[in-house]
Amino acid sequence: MKVIVARTAGFCKGVKDALEVTLEAIQKREDGKRIYTFGPLIHNRQVLSMLEEKGVREEHRIENCAGKKVVIRAHGIPPHERQALHGIGAELLDATCKRVARVHAAIKSHARQGFHTVIVGDEDHAEVIGLMGYTEGRGAVINRPEQVEDLPPDLEKVLLVAQTTQNEETFQEIRDRFLRRYPHGVVKNTICDSTQERQTEVRRICGLVEAMVIVGGSHSGNTMRLADVARECSIPTYHVETEADLDRQELSRYACVGVSAGASTPNWIIWNVVRFLEAIQPKHAGVQFRVKRFLEQLSYANIYVALAAAFLPPIAEALGAFRADLNDSIVAASYAFAMHSLNIYLDRDAIRLNDPGRAAFYQQWKYLFTGLGILAMAVSLWAASGSGILNLVVLTVMVVLGLLYAVPLILPVSIQVLNLKIKDIPTSKTFSVPVAWACVSVLVPRLAETKGGVGAFLFSFWVIFLLVLVRTILLDLLAVQGDRLGGKETLVVSVGETKTVRIAVGILFVFVLSLVVGPLVGLSGFFSLMLVPAAILYCWHLVVCVRKHFKESPIFEASIEFVLIGSGILALFWNACWRG
């Protein structure tokens, strides 16, 4: 089945910010202390369940929040509840969506001037309850155009606003009737831009598909309105929370289905639904489907990872660091495969969230991959020993550090015991991977081969490090949601997506500058200039990561690895032509 995924599907900025506030509180909390959210943080049961596993508890009674650290939900709360929480000594962390906060401010400002407020929304929705709290008792809630006629006819000062997740077309119909009834009324379209974009995109996609699947919480207002928009387009519409709510037999009637999702729906749930739908294939598409699945499984099996690492020693040779041979590539490939395969089972949370299909694949072949990982580790050490005892010792240290990456280390700190993982160190994954790959592909072979000078060796190490660093940052950008909730400390989790993209651009600039300067100062041959296309390809991948909101894909991930593989193939040809 062909699946068209809405670009706007998934977390909106307000939900992202609310999660950031909560996750930061989790990281900074004192041991054993719970964090509370006053009401559900967002309308998504799966995310709330993940937060509950991390010690975040949902509370609805103000008196139970006394002296506690309390996160104000993304939908906001009425001012009297906020004052009551302050009054009992609760430490408040405000995760109210900034868009919602602006509506609060607009209502509050007009209420002080004596305005009545009419809110277009759902009366029992948390956001609307919060908005009503700012009307000073002069507020009304409607959600149908005909309800305008039920409003008092003699209102001189009256303001019309909307719940931020309202249907745009419904609001415009109400607006027209409102202005006919109250010519001097004030209208503020407070529907969030993100909501409008989602609804517009759903209407566009509905013209391209045979059915529409809307993913999100059953109590999520903005998700329900997306489903309403799709139904208005007169195509079969399915509102589901997860792929478990879909009927494979019923959906097999369609050849092309669209997918969008509410603002509180995480990407890993959308990805689950998309993979479920893609697995429903018409018979005539069977070969194409099997090829795609085969390529995906190569990615899951870390074959592309191993190939990428295998081609790094030829790149180092082409840069002038040493003379590489097949043994060096075997060491690098086996090491990378072993570390990636074995650490999967030591740190499963983020993988389960970022790509459930990959997680299911690893669970299905758990014992095989564990065995292959151990075998690859042994092959790597055996191959390194053939080059000398020093090579074996260095690689053994690297293997031990790699295996300890996600294992708790019990360290005594004064009278307490610190349970620490290397992965818990900020940005540890982002920088440890390129350092390890540069060591195994440049340092370890260099210990046995001294063809090039020290300058050429350091330059090659630096170039390989930057090559792998950008590759790792791109993969981190793909996995950011799962990494946040899974607790993995990557650069993007530590500084945010926007800053990470800027850092990546800066690294690419330094990378290209290094490639140009290397031959000029005699640190490498002209092969370094042939790596400039790798920087260009990385730039393209970075643009895709920024612009394409729903981007987890094993095929896209493989294309990132092929930047290294392609550069390595180029290096092999260079070495064959110039090796003397």
Residue 417 is inside which H or E element, if any? strand 416-420
CA dihedral (122, 126, 127, 130) positive or negative: positive
Q: Distance of alpha carbon 10 from its chain centroid, rounded?
A: 10
Task: Work out the angle at residue 196's Cα, subtended by the Cα atoms of residues 194 and 201, and round it to the nearest 5 degrees.
Answer: 95
Name residue 513's beta-bridge partners.
Answer: none
The C-alpha atoms of residue 343 and residue 352 are separated, in whole angstroms, by: 13
The C-alpha atoms of residue 164 and residue 175 are separated, in whole angstroms, by: 15
Give the SS3 label for residue 75: coil
**127 labelled catalytic:** yes
The C-alpha atoms of residue 125 and residue 39 are separated, in whole angstroms, by: 12
Give the Å distances, CA to CA, from 244 to 248, 273, 302, 338, 367.
Answer: 10, 8, 28, 34, 27
- Joined tokens for residue 118: 């009419």
Please check whether residue 474 is in contact with residue 504, taking contact to mean a CB–CB distance below 8 angstroms: yes
- Joined tokens for residue 283: 């018979």
CA dihedral (447, 453, 454, 456) positive or negative: negative
Please check whether residue 350 is in contact with residue 488, taking contact to mean a CB–CB distance below 8 angstroms: yes
The C-alpha atoms of residue 394 and residue 413 are separated, in whole angstroms, by: 29
Residue type for position 229: V
Give the SS3 label for residue 514: helix
Find the catalytic residue in 127, 552, 557, 561.
127
Matching residue, tokens 């690419």: 508
Give the SS3 label for residue 302: coil
The set of residues, in sequence order, having a beta carbon less than 8 Å from that of 54 and lying 6+ positions away, is: 26, 485, 487
Please check whether residue 332 is in contact with residue 310, taking contact to mean a CB–CB distance below 8 angstroms: yes
Report DSSP state, residue 65: G
| Residues with catalytic roles | 127
